[in-house]
Amino acid sequence: MTETEKIIKRTKCLVLDMDGTIYLDSTPIGDMINTLKKCRDKGIKIYYFTNNSSKNYIEYVNKLSKIGFYDDRDEVYTSAMATISFLNANFPGKKVYVLATDEVVKSFVEGGINVVNATGEEPDVALMCYDTTINFEKMKRFNEYLVKGAVYIATHPDFVCPTAGIPMPDVGSFIKMFEATSGRTPDYVIGKPNSIAGGEIVRKTGLEPDEITMVGDRLYTDIKFGVNSKFNTILVLSGETTAEDLKVSDVKPDIVFNDLNEIVGYL
């Protein structure tokens, strides 16, 4: 039995990145709907975990359902959800300005965070999510809070968001912009590759780390997260990472597939 076969056979949970891993925009990569069904039929739990903090939990469930991916047995976890837990644990009651879409800002309020976007109060924490509605006024305001010394948190470090066309700038790109304007880099970056979320997934599933396999298209977030969490790792070449990138990377996955549909041959 090959090492790939051994890993797939002992996998009881697949932790799946989304953008570039199972879909591009809202288009499934290959026969992904049937691939996920075959995994579930083999008793493998599907755990969607995205660094993309531009949508809240309900929006992702709705999106996955519309595409045909979501099943009631599945779980959804985002870097924004991980950040809500982090803020409640480490900055309880602190005033937070959330650079995010309206629905994601609302999810932080519902999660018990003292959000001051509407009041204009000076925040203790300036939080950057993936705001696809960002404009100059928001950028100016966020930059001012950084310069004034607010604790600086980013939900994730991804430079681009894979799409079917040209990849879009993501939070990592915004981090570079604000470094140029404020001289600051984040004090904390939550989400992949931070292993805090990995511990939460282990707790929720009740599985051992080596029974969990992380699947993603980015070496520096998805695969590094899997390594940091002591999960098995599958890199798919359907998104950001290329074969050339892999050759020069210090982060090495256990398995490399062109896309996740190749897993079917090992089930």
pLDDT in tens, 185-217: 999 999 999 888 898 899 889 999 999 999 999
The residue among 109, 58, 49 whose CA lies nearest residue 82 is: 49
Percentage, residues of the chain above pLDDT 90: 85
Give CA torsion, residues 154, 159, 164, 166, to 10 deg: 130
Query: Which pLDDT belongs to residue 161?
Result: 84
Q: List, for residues 230-245, the tens digit of each pLDDT value.
A: 999 999 999 989 999 9
Rounded CA-CA distance 18/48 in Å is 7
Query: Which pLDDT belongs to residue 203?
Result: 86
Neighbours of 173 (CB within 10 A): 14
Does the pTM surpass 0.85? The reply is no
Coil, strand or helix: which one is 226? helix
What are the backbone angles phi and psi of residue 36, rounded to the nearest 5°? -65, -40
Would you say residue 163 has pLDDT above 80?
no
Q: At what angle do helices 196-205 and 79-90 cross, to 10 degrees?
A: 100
Query: Which pLDDT belongs to residue 129?
Result: 97
Coil, strand or helix: which one is 118? coil
The residue among 255, 258, 212 whose CA lies nearest residue 5 is: 255
